[in-house]
A and B are shown apart, each in its own frame.
Chain A
Amino acid sequence: MTAGLQVREQDTRILAGPSGPRLWLSANGGYIASRVGQALLAVLGVYVLVFVIVTVLPGDPVSSQLRNPENNYSEEEIARLLAYYKLDRSVFEQLGIALGRLFSGDLGLSISSHRPVSAVLWEGIPSTLQLAGTAFVFATILAFLIALAAIYVPARFGGAVFRAFPPLFLSMPNFLIGLVIIDIFSFQLGFFAINDYDSINALIYPAITLAIPASAPIAQIFLTALDDARAQQYSTVAISKGISRIGLFGRHLLPNAALPTLTITAIIVGDLLGGSVLTEAIFGRTGIGSIIQTAATEQDVPVLQAAVTLAAVLFLTINLVVDLIYPVLDPRLRKAAAT
């Protein structure tokens, strides 16, 4: 977390420029292009890295299927299949083939399902975006409410209790939350059917499952940032001048707490996009997380490369957007360079 914040501080020096968001953006087109270029290089790096990691591991997907003694294939037959999938080539040749596919936009065929990788991914992308997006909204609202309650509910009404929520939520594993939700709301109360995959419930309940632990770090950072801002002299001065609670929050606390919260939020969104394997499994959803998990299990290199790269693209895009939002939110960053 700290490292992430330090990086953001370095970024602010680069981001500085003429004041006014639109003006800044127009004046910093080169910077944006540079960040996009870096992101593309990172994506390429991820693609190659996944290939290298999977390739250096012992075994290969064809052998792992055909060498099951129950199947009884001869070594000659296995060799022919390895040749068909070009798994008999050297690592460098295989990497060249994989890169060729990437640059031509053809992601190839899944080795385990024999279907186009693009089709396999497309089956998971909408589900993942829906789930991650909904969970993110829920998590943000929940975190916002927890932080506000912790600050504004008086101690005599248990305000301090809300400060215990983030560590409590963080320690609750997704699968446990999911199983409890299903047992109570589906099996006991009958609010939704676990296999009704097309209903809105099939999105809401898994999103709640994901949102509870995801809200914890956002709430923690937001709360800490609010506390910090409230302890600053400008807050003390504003209070002494009789500013209302809402005014203090809107004009002083929220703007100053927004940047660190935005940073952690970007990381959380990244986690939600790629890290919902257990929730997807429990609720029977097919998303990028479960596709990655299946592909890793079966050493399905084309699918694994494409899915991890897609997750990286999404993660990098969000981080890029957040980086570009910083100066829009904070005038100090735009003015810094000028001074």
Chain B
Amino acid sequence: MRHDVGRRQFLRLGALLAGAAVVAACTRDGDSGSPAPAGSGNSEPKPGGEITYLNAHLNQGYAQQQVSSWHVLQVWAQFVEYLFYYDDEGALLPHLASGFTHNADFTEFIITVREGITFSNGEKLDAAAVALNLNLQGLGDDSRGITRVANLPETFDKATAISATEVQVRLTAPFPALIPVLAGTSTTGILAPATLKLSLEEQSDLKNTYATGPFVVDSWKPNKEIVLVRRDDYAWPRPDSAHQGPAYLDKITIQQLSEASLRVGALDSGQVDLIHYPQPSEETGLVERGATLLNSFVPGSVWGLHLRLGAEHLDDIRVRKALTHAINRQEIVDTLYSSEWKVATGPLNSSTPWGLDLSDRFAYNPDLANRLLDEAGWTGRDKDGYRTKGGRQLYFFEYPSVFITTSRDDLALIAQQWKKVGVRLELKGVDFSNYNTVAQQDSVPLYEIHWAAPHPVYLWRWWHSSQQNQFKKPSAEFDRILEDVATAPTDAEAFAASKKAQEYVIDHAYFIPVHEFPQNFAASAKLKGIGADGYGRIRLYDTWLDS
């Protein structure tokens, strides 16, 4: 069966092959050119120049399948490319691949690899190189301590080059969403065979990373600085790029500065050109002082609370619903964030093409929250004003995420809001290394997430009782809904099936959405053409310096 990436996607691919002018005419709605990156202004792009970019963290090692964080992605995205990707409008597009086919039951895929592409060490990108990548990603290598890419199906069997440009991927069980997962996972970048054959120790050395991107690693000081230089023979940009040929910038110096206020100060004083993670409270001031702000809302990513259905008091849907109706989301965004941030309108953010606006079903309504709690029998009050039933306080606790810097502030405000309806929320502490163990205990009533979901299959990953489920109480009915999502043969059917799942978690108050969670960047006014893809990765390929 021939499978389309999508009519629009193929139009985009055709546009790429035809040239930049056609690319500009072939977008989602056919009513605009390639997405205009932030800060593009009216000036003409100019090649040349060097920029400095401050990341909050740089790693000590960069073996692709062992490290995955937003900090790593911002570095990785400048020199590693993918077979498929999601653009900033959430559309699945081919890049190093030109398309794919699959059999009727989705156990065999044929991925066609683009020709004329080389890695930065001179090796050729062909089907054999892609097969080598997919096998390491799908299976890992226990003998080298390399983990498989966990988002890929455990039923991954083997990838084989069946011609110079075609790779056959076999699965032992159907998995229709293989290509969306390859596109929506950060650790599926295509690396040169010479890199992949190295030991884990050698792969961790960034200088050994050879890929196909528009920049190459020139030097690396772990935890301190990465210098990237332009690759002059680069000629295979993604379809959503604003230009063709090599990148404009000669050199990008990426440095680590962990203190957010110092990153903002360095940008303000002109010492650097671009920063990741400015403090949300600083965003308005940065814009007023002339900086360009880029908030990339990654599809799916909503900061919110998973409710543990087996934890105390949460087996009662009235209590769960009261908790969600007692949260004033607009107050949280207004108090803690800039006007660029948005309240959640559903379990998935508003930039998710298949996300539903269900905000009416969990809107702030303290009267309703009070009524629900009264109906649930929580009618008594203790000396501190918290609700009681049978002498017990209506009490919950949470371990603020060690991965989300804004978590504790969000939760502190939620605790204040819940107190107004008589619910006590205590914020506990746990160290970084024990967070995953402690916060996942069944008895911990709340668990926060802001996971990305570029495709509906991720809902199955998040919520199915056999997967990452954090509700911790299997529901056969909900599992069936999610299985329909995972086994939907087409994107359209997966989108449709996902609606039931989105409604289910809201209507049953399994999940409390609070606000959308962007990847935010700030750039100096002279930096033009910055943009991010559909995974919150900043792209500096189209970026230029306006003198």
Contact = CB atoms under 8 A, between A and B. Distances in A.
A134 B37 CA distance: 46
B436 A64 contact: yes
A329 interface: no
A140 B545 CA distance: 46
Contact of A182 (B222, B225, B262): B262
A285 B321 CA distance: 48
Contacts of A120: 60, 222
B204 A73 contact: no
A93 interface: no
Given A114-B66, A183-B265, A109 B432 contact: no
Given A58-B434, A297-B432, A70 B223 contact: no
Interface string B228-261: 0000000000000000000000000001111101
B433 A59 contact: yes
Given A113-B59, A194-B266, A290 B223 contact: yes
A63 B437 contact: yes
A282 B271 contact: no
A84 B436 CA distance: 21
B290 interface: no
A77 interface: yes
Interface in B455-485: 461, 467-468, 470
B433 A298 contact: yes
Contact of A114 (B54, B61, B435): B61
A193 B257 CA distance: 12
Nearest to A123: B222
A22 B148 CA distance: 64
Contacts, number: 135
A294 B58 CA distance: 12
A72 B151 contact: yes
B433 A297 contact: yes
A84 to B, nearest CB: 4
Contacts of A297: 431-433
Interface in A46-78: 57-59, 61, 63-74, 77
A69 B470 contact: yes
Contacts of A89: none
Interface string B421-433: 0000000000111
A188 B255 CA distance: 21
Contacts of B470: 69
B266 A64 contact: no
Interface centre among A77, A113, A188, A190 (most CB of B within 10 A): A113
Nearest to B66: A114
Contacts of B265: 182-183, 186-187, 194
Contacts of B222: 113, 115, 120, 123, 286
B218 interface: no
A320 to B, nearest CB: 31
Contacts of A113: 59-61, 204, 222
Nearest to A303: B60
Q: How large is the interface on B (under 10, 10 to 19, 20 to 34, 35 or more residues)?
A: 35 or more
A116 B201 CA distance: 7
A299 interface: yes
Contacts of B405: none
A114 B437 contact: no
Nearest to B258: A281
A282 B467 CA distance: 40
Interface string A92-117: 00000000000000000110111110
B201 A187 contact: no
B434 A195 contact: no
Given A72-B150, A284-B256, A67 B436 contact: yes
B200 interface: yes
B433 A81 contact: no
Contacts of A109: 201
A234 interface: no
B503 interface: no
A197 interface: yes
B205 interface: yes
Contacts of A284: 224, 255-258
A160 B24 CA distance: 75
Contacts of B420: none
A194 B272 CA distance: 9
B60 A282 contact: no
B63 interface: yes
Contacts of B223: 123, 286, 290, 294
A31 interface: no
Interface in B395-417: none
B535 to A, nearest CB: 14
B312 interface: no
Contacts of A69: 436, 440, 468, 470
Interface string A186-224: 111010011101000000000000000000000000000
Contacts of A65: 436
B467 A72 contact: yes
B360 interface: no
B61 A64 contact: no
B149 to A, nearest CB: 10
Contact of A110 (B60, B256, B269, B467): B60
Contact of B142 (A59, A66, A80, A182): A80
Contacts of B451: 70
Nearest first, the 9 closest Cβ-Cβ pairs linking A and B are A113-B61, A113-B60, A69-B468, A114-B204, A299-B433, A187-B269, A84-B145, A286-B223, A72-B150
23 contacts: A59-B436, A59-B437, A64-B432, A66-B147, A68-B436, A74-B154, A81-B145, A85-B145, A113-B59, A114-B66, A114-B204, A120-B222, A179-B259, A179-B261, A187-B268, A194-B262, A195-B54, A195-B266, A197-B225, A282-B259, A297-B431, A297-B433, A299-B433
Interface of B: 52, 54, 59-61, 63, 66, 140, 142, 145, 147-148, 150-151, 154, 200-201, 203-205, 221-225, 255-259, 261-262, 265-266, 268-269, 271-272, 431-437, 440, 449, 451, 461, 467-468, 470
Given A194-B262, A195-B52, 12 more contacts: A59-B434, A64-B432, A64-B433, A64-B437, A69-B470, A72-B468, A81-B145, A114-B200, A186-B265, A195-B272, A286-B224, A298-B433
